[in-house]
Chains A and B, each alone.
Chain A
Amino acid sequence: MIAAIITALLAIAAGLPFSRRLGEAYLLGVGIQAAILCILPWSRPIVIAAIILECGALAPLWLRRYESGSKLPHSIIDLATLGLIAGYARFATIASPTEIDYICIWGLKAEKFWVAHGIDWNFLAQPFNAFAHPDYPLLVPLAYDFQALVGGAWIDRWAGALSIGCGIAALLIIRSELRGWIGALAALILMPLVFSPYVGDAEGPLIAYSIAAILPLRRRENITRCAVFLGLAASCKNEGLTLIVAVAIALMISGAKQLVPKLWPAVAIPFPWLIISRLHHLRSDFAEGGLIGRIVEHVTNPAPMLQAMAAYSPGRVIFWIGLVVALAIGWRRVVGEERFLASVIALQLIAFIVAYVITPHDVSWHVRWSWERLVLQVTALTTFLAIVAARP
């Protein structure tokens, strides 16, 4: 019922481009499905009934589409984007995801919960399962479980479907932000950045929720709905929590501090998990003792961290050159009308570096195995910023 009502509200939201409504409906639907599994029994009939309710609620979206005559934006360039999406879909679902974080964290938890038909607190509480990061939020594993419940079986390779869905949703939202050929071009360029190569990991959903939350906030539109997506981002990965802080500070930097209280859903959505996980003594490895010592060590000797960042720099050099040039060309827009987006990206990057400063692990090891993934979380937003800043 909650799913149906919220989705209906989203579907009939006035004035939104159809493509964005579609993208947002998918992302919200994934969040609602995860919430359903936290509340309702893990029973196939119940879950299917919830879907039917949701689909019924989605009907106004389609009706409205025909009433308003709005169309999905399209261009010849979109055919190339569609070709790449089809290739990604094959890549993402051809086998069980190969990412180690899927096997040790996201997919593993989903499988354990699937077997237990609920959150397996016993598994999460075992100290020898600390490698599974029991404190991480559960939206992504629960989304996999929802798929399994609906399908009636656990099929590893269908984890890729979430990555595909999130990628399409993110691209639809981007497409709604930029009209005409520039929008089609942006979608083509951004496709490989929003369709996460880390299939099965939480990066894909996190990127999609970040885009859904942050792009409309540039124009201070639909603050509450943006905050909901921000909360869902924080329910994917802990980096989503720092993103909430980054958005709040960026709003202040860009002269919209009066909007910060309206972000309350962003805090309210991940808050129950933060409380429940602490009650179950599921602690982040960052919370290990000796925090001050680690900070002092890494601040006074940043060379290992910086060397590792240089050694394991993400992406291709030509990409970063193009990005820097585009940002330089459009610097007036970056510091002016796009100051909010630029601030969010900068603050989130600072948060990533702070995580390395306080890491209890060997910092070179930590950077090596996470830097590329972390940077990917903001690469699509940064590229979007470069495109809107440098466009004619």
Chain B
Amino acid sequence: MGSNAIRVMVAKPGLDGHDRGAKVIAYALRDAGMEVVYTGLRHSPEEIVNAAMQEDVDAVGLSILSGAHLPLTEKVIAGLAAAGQDKEIAVFVGGTIPERDVAALKKMGVAGVFPTGTPLNEIVPAIKDAVAARRGAGA
């Protein structure tokens, strides 16, 4: 692994406390060879942006089941942009996401949306590809 391993932060923004999905994803990414940080519950978008920079991650996965995915994601992306990190850190969103909101999330700059029921074998390569593309662009 070493320094080349993809570093991912799995985060729970907002007040939602359902973290089964977040933990399952975290385990799966770790098993796929990534270095995974899990924030725990109830972090504000600002805290998540700061932690992502501090941990120097390649990607942030937001897990949201409360229906508040649009405003929360928007704030995280805006925070990363304000810190000049939106090109460095890919943002993914998973959880109870109705299909009608997928396009809106992508338009905000989300690299991938994984609604309830997305298999792990779609999520892992999607993160790998997005990070590889960003690292390639930065190199």
Q: Do A and B come from one complex?
A: no
Q: Which residues of B contact A (CB under 8 A)?
A: none
Q: Which residues of A contact B (CB under 8 A)?
A: none
